[in-house]
Structures are given as C-alpha cells and as structure tokens.
A and B are shown apart, each in its own frame.
With several copies, the nearest count.
Chain A
Amino acid sequence: MALSREQIAQRIARELEDGFYVNLGIGIPTLVANYIPDGIEVMLQSENGLLGMGPFPTEDEIDADMINAGKQTVTAATGASIFSSAESFAMIRGGHVDLTVLGAFEVDVNGNIASWMIPGKLIKGMGGAMDLVAGADNIIVTMTHASKHGESKLLTNCTLPLTGAGCIKKVLTDLAFLEIKDGAFHLKERAPGVSVEEIIEKTEGKLIVPDHVPEMTFA
C-alpha cells in the first residue's frame, strides 16, 4: 500500500543524524519534525532567517515578528539564532545545511528537479527552492510516484522548467525510496505491500532494481 503522509515523514526522519542542521520545505517535509528518532537532536533552519525553529506557539505566545519560511507563526528553540535573509542564504548556498527535504513535481535520472512552475498556470515564484537545491549536498525529494492519472514523475528528462540541474540524489515517493546515480534511479526500498512490478511500471526513467528490495517497516 502506498505510504501515508505520516509514513513518508517517518521514513525521511530515519535519514536524520544527531547534530544535523535541517531545512524542511512546506507540506509533507514539515511533518518530519514530528518523527525525530529518540536520542537524535536536529536543528531546523527556516530560510527567512531562523536557525533553531521551535514548536508552534500557544495562543499566548503568538508573535507577528516570529514566523517561519511558510509564514506560519513559530517559536525559537533554546540555542536558536536569528539573522538576515542574506545570512540565511549564505548558510544555504554555502552548503552548511546538512539535509534539505522538499517536494517536487518531477525528478529525472540526471538528478534534475522541477518543482516550481507549470507553464500555463499562474506562476507564483520559486521562493528559496532554487537556492536550497543548489546549495545542499544532501537533499531528499518527496512526492507521489505518479500523478493521479498514473503518469510517472520519475523521468528520463524532466518536462517542466527546472528548479535545479543535477542536484538530487535521493527520492522518497509514496511507493519507494530511490537513489539517483550514474543516470538511473536505483530502487533501494519499497513501501509495505507495494510490488517491485508496480514500481517498475510507474517509473518512466531508467530504473536499476537489485535482486532483493527490502520492504519498509513502520511501528
């Protein structure tokens, strides 16, 4: 069965290491914060200018001057620092963030990602996504494996305008966890009850399937 939003967040959380500085994109990536494993501490970076994002505020704590990159009211964790957006993107562009998690429309076998623009629809902008994918070495893209109409989002070549070129190495879909290298997707894990055949069928780009593909387990 395809992974739920919560399971996607749980699986991504297993990529966290103690002491990681992490930038979580809007949507499912944000949920990762709820599944940080025991014994592991991470600091969340918010690209408007906050390192050490805390939980949402209580009604009493709400402060218009404390927001995250999703424009939600937040708090600062103990040991946080707050700085300008130039400093924030110096961190991001300079490769100081250990893990970036973000959504996408498409990825391809060359590590290209398209996530911000669908020609013909209103284009709102890329925000910080282009900086995040260009700056990070360790990125996990999360998205559904195929569209509602069954069209694969793991492609030979992205069809939409790119967010970044050759920068994606890990993809977690609702069906599988894959790595991208040497011009192909490498199937690493499958969602519980999802067959390798289904993943092959729904992957348009070149896919390398090992003899054994472990099934993800969730508590």
Chain B
Amino acid sequence: MSGFNKVVNSYEEAMAGLEDGMTVIAGGFGLCGIPENLIAQIKKMGTKELTFVSNNCGVDDFGLGILLVDRQIKKMISSYVGENALFEKQLLAGELEVELTPQGTLAEKMRAGGAGIPAFYTATGYGTPVGDGKEVREFNGRKYIMEESITGDFAIVKGWKADTYGNVVYRDTAQNFNPMAATAGKITVVEVEEIVQPGELKPTEIHTPGIYVNRVIKGSFEKRIEQRTVRQG
C-alpha cells in the first residue's frame, strides 16, 4: 500500500512546507511527550513569525523554548508559560504575544478543530478575563462562554509507536495533548520511538488513527525530566 506509507526518512522531509507566519499545533505537557526533534528541525530551518498552540513553551534550552533564541515565535496560545528567562524577557519587551487559554479549553479547542466543530460552550472562564469579549449564553440556568476551535497549518506530535500507515499509540502520560494536536493540523507530522508494520498495533488500542497523519518519522529522544521526584525505594 504505497499510498498509505507515511514514513519519511529525514527531518527535512518531515517539516517540508513549513513557512514563515504559519500556525503550528504542538503536543506535549511540560517537557513530557514533546516532539523534541521536530522542534529542533524548526530551529534549524529558522522559520519565523510562527504561532504555536501548545500547553507550555518548554524551558530555556529544551522544547519550544529553543525557538525563542532567534525569535522564531511571534505568538503562543498556551495555558501555562514562562518556565524560562528568555520567554519573560521577550514578553515584557513586547516581542512575544501570549494568548492564555485554560488547559481544558485548549485541549477541547484542538479536538473541536479536528472534528469540524467551529465552536462550543464552556463554563470555564466565565466571569474571568478569559471570558472578556466572548459571547455569554445561559443553558439550564448557568452561564457559559463560547470558545472557537483551533486548527494549524502543521501539527507536530510525539508518539511512542506508529505503523507505516500512521496509526499511533502513545506511552503513558506522554499522551497528553498529542492525540488532539494530531487531528488539528492541515499537515500532521508524528515522530515516534519505533515504527512497526501495519497489523502489529491492535486496532482497538490505536490512539490516533492514520487518517489524521501525513508523515511519520523515527527519532531518538532525550526525554528530559522537569521535576525529578523520588521516594525512598
């Protein structure tokens, strides 16, 4: 099935077509389950004026944070940012725009974007600055705000295993925002730890069906840990 073989062999090919000014949706929560090599490729490409939709913006030298150095990011749509000094500096200098979005609303906006739902109502953020300027509507005596969906020119995703058709499974809590991101990109690129043959992943255990995925690449990952906490063994 050559038509369904999504595997690409270089990161250049994986991110081909990314242009200045595009919107990129990125999976990951903190530094967990982030498409670290796809991000590194964007740094290498030097693409500018990018809008990123991602729950966080990495740290100074890892994750999306590395794109701050050459000011590749114009705008972040995130729920929690600022784990890095450069981010703060660019934000205060007005070189970087941030649209803070509640975490659950952000996840749902991505899902809705992929699912052809242009907007939905949520009680989250009603009566807060998040609700400012948004339509308020009452259902069953409670007030909700309307939130619009998000799609991206690209989605960059970190999976655990994928088959060559682009069916993906995620490992543990590295799943996080990745499945929604995968549905919401015009071009969805998934990097994984292992590529397997079609049929090796059980059909009912696939988290992201291949229909959402355009390119798959095998990478090797640092998987940096943000808060190493242990108990005595």
Query: Which candidate, A17-25, A146-154, A177-185, A206-214, is the interface stretch facing chain B?
Result: A17-25
Cβ–Cβ < 8 Å partners of A48 in chain B: 29-30, 32, 173, 176
- CB contact between A131 and one of B80, B82, B92, B124 (< 8 Å): that residue: B124
Q: Find the B residue at minimum CB distance from A123.
A: B100
A63: chain B residues within 8 A (beta carbon): 172
Given A43-B4, A93-B116, A164-B127, answer yes or no on A127-B79 (Cβ-Cβ < 8 Å): yes
Q: A58-B233, A78-B199 are in contact. Are A73 and B227 (CB under 8 A)?
A: yes
The B192-233 residues at the A interface (CB cut-off 8 A) are: 198-199, 203-204, 206-207, 209-212, 223-233
Residues of A within 8 A of B119 (CB): none
Q: Which of A72-86 contact B (CB under 8 A)?
A: 72-74, 76, 78-86
Name the one of B55, B114, B173, B179 contacting A66, with C-beta atoms under 8 angstroms: B173
Considering only residues 85-114 of chain A, those with a C-beta below 8 Å from chain B are 85-97, 112
B2 to A166, Cβ gap below 8 A? no
- Interface status of B51 (Cβ within 8 A of chain A): no
Q: Which of B9-17, B42-50, B104-112 contacts A (4 or more CB under 8 A)?
A: B104-112
When chains A and B are docked, how far (Å) is the Cα of A61 from the Cα of B177? 24
**Contact between B225 and A90, CB atoms less than 8 A apart:** no
* A contact residues around B98 at 8 Å (CB): 125
State whether A21 touches B211 (Cβ < 8 A): yes
Contact yes or no, B103 A131, CB < 8 A: yes
Q: Are B177 and A84 in contact (CB under 8 A)?
A: yes
Q: A55 contacts B107, CB within 8 Å?
A: no
Question: Are A56 and B231 touching (Cβ within 8 A)?
Answer: yes
Q: Does A174 contact B (CB under 8 A)?
A: no
- Establish whether residues B33 and A71, one from each chain, have CB atoms under 8 Å apart when the complex forms: no
Is residue A134 contacting chain B, with contact meaning CB distance below 8 A? yes
Q: Which residues of B contact A84 (CB under 8 A)?
A: 107, 175-180, 207
When chains A and B are docked, how far (Å) is the Cα of A134 from the Cα of B143? 11
Contact B178 A81 (CB under 8 A): no
Question: Which B residues touch A58, using CB under 8 A?
Answer: 230-233
Which of the residues B81, B165, B171 comes within 8 Å of A124, measured between beta carbons? Answer: B81
Chain B residue numbers with a CB within 8 Å of A97 are 211
* CB–CB A19/B3 < 8 A: yes
Q: How far is the CA of A64 from the CA of B160 in the complex (A)?
A: 12
Q: Given A41, A124, A163, which contacts B3 in the complex, CB threshold below 8 Å?
A: A41
Contact call A17/B3, Cβ cutoff below 8 A: yes
* Complex Cα–Cα for A82 and B198 (A): 14
Query: Cβ of A128 and Cβ of B103 under 8 Å apart?
Result: yes
Q: Is the CB of A73 within 8 A of B105?
A: no
User: Is B167 an interface residue, CB under 8 A from the partner?
Assistant: yes
Partner of B233 from the list A60, A92, A123, A131 (CB cut-off 8 Å) is A60
Complex formed: what's the CA distance from A63 to B173 in Å?
A: 10
Nearest to B6 among chain A residues (CB) is A19
Pairwise interchain contact B127-A166, C-beta atoms closer than 8 A: yes
B69, CB-defined interface residue at 8 Å: no
Q: In the bound complex, do residue A165 and residue B126 qualify as a contact, i.e. CB atoms below 8 Å apart?
A: yes
- Cα–Cα distance between A20 and B211 once the two chains are bound (Å): 9
Q: Is A51 an interface residue (CB 8 A)?
A: yes
Residues of chain A lying within 8 A (CB to CB) of residue B113 = 94
Q: Is there contact, CB below 8 Å, between B33 and A85?
A: no
List, sorted by A's number, 22 A–B pairs whose CB atoms are closer than 8 Å: A19-B2, A41-B4, A43-B4, A50-B173, A64-B31, A65-B172, A65-B173, A65-B174, A71-B227, A78-B199, A81-B203, A84-B176, A89-B107, A93-B124, A94-B183, A124-B82, A125-B98, A127-B80, A127-B102, A130-B130, A131-B102, A134-B125
Which residues of B are at the interface with A, using a C-beta cutoff of 8 A? 1-4, 29-33, 55, 78-83, 88, 91-92, 98, 100, 102-105, 107-108, 110-111, 113-117, 122-130, 160, 163, 165, 167, 171-180, 183, 198-199, 203-204, 206-207, 209-212, 223-233
